[in-house]
Structure 1
Amino acid sequence: MMTKDQIKQLIQAGMPDAVVTVTGDDGQHFEAEVIWLGFTGKSPVAQHRMVYDTLGGRMGTEIHALKLRTHAPKAPCA
């Protein structure tokens, strides 16, 4: 069974400098927001695949469900 902290660590290990927030306390259902410069120019589907890749084979086994919100950081206003 995974914890939200373990999921956060896995994502951050695969996406250096990402800002990651993971919630969920039942050990199977989680929500994550990932903000990462590496998402720039990528479609939402591609962004989600990139996150799933950081989790390896844990999706569907140790992690039953993961709701994702992903995006690149917003440019600062001038």
Structure 2
Amino acid sequence: MEQPELVLEVEVGDHHTTVTVAGDIDLLTAERFRDFACDEIAAHPKSSVIDMTGVGFVDSSGISALVAIRRHADALGLSVVV
């Protein structure tokens, strides 16, 4: 089975890092989304924005990924805004 398309991009600005997500965040893609966002937040320690404008669907796995991302940022003393 082919992995569903999930587009993940990062833009590092002077004041914050933006992680842009496009596609569906579900059981098949949530782990990849979580890992990407957590890695980028750790690599660029400043306030972060998760831009989900291009997301068409989020299931409970996606919500769990967002909670994990928030907890990761909190542990680093950083803020994250969706």
Same-fold call, TM cutoff 0.5: no
Higher strand share: 2
TM-score range, shorter chain: 0.3 to 0.5
TM-score in terms of structure 2 length: 0.34
